[in-house]
Amino acid sequence: MCYFLEILLLINIKLKLLKQFTMKEAKIKIQNFLTQYFTSYKLQDDENIFSLGFVNSMFAMQLVLFLEKEFKIVIDNEDLELDNFKSINAICSLLERKMAIYAQD
């Protein structure tokens, strides 16, 4: 019984490490996508892209489509709030929440 619990603990630790690695990769992909559009500006992870004036409605649609295609998620109507897309960190948080929902299914 103790051996079984140790195995479960190790699996849980590996899953957490995999999730962290995956989110780091996701952040890099998001940063790379955004730098295609903000070529003359070094965007920080917590900077509000709406306040900086970089976003228009076409870009917002492209960002949603990128996230859905790249990460195999669906951005629902209730997800379409500025707070979910205002920064790299906010987008990563949305992505993490969406991936957690899919992992439960």
For the domain 22-104, what is the CATH code? 1.10.1200.10
Per-residue pLDDT at 65? 96
Summarised one tens digit per residue, pLDDT across range 3-12 is 666 776 666 6
Summarised one tens digit per residue, pLDDT across range 29-63 is 999 999 888 888 889 999 999 998 888 889 999 99
**What does pLDDT average to over the chain?**
84
Per-residue pLDDT at 12? 62
- Cα–chain-centroid distance for residue 58? 20
87: which residues sit within 8 A by CB, 6+ positions away? Answer: 45, 46, 47, 48, 49
Q: Is 94 helix (H, G, I), strand (E, B) or coil?
A: helix
Per-residue pLDDT at 18? 47
53: left (phi over 0), alpha (psi -120 to 50) or beta: left
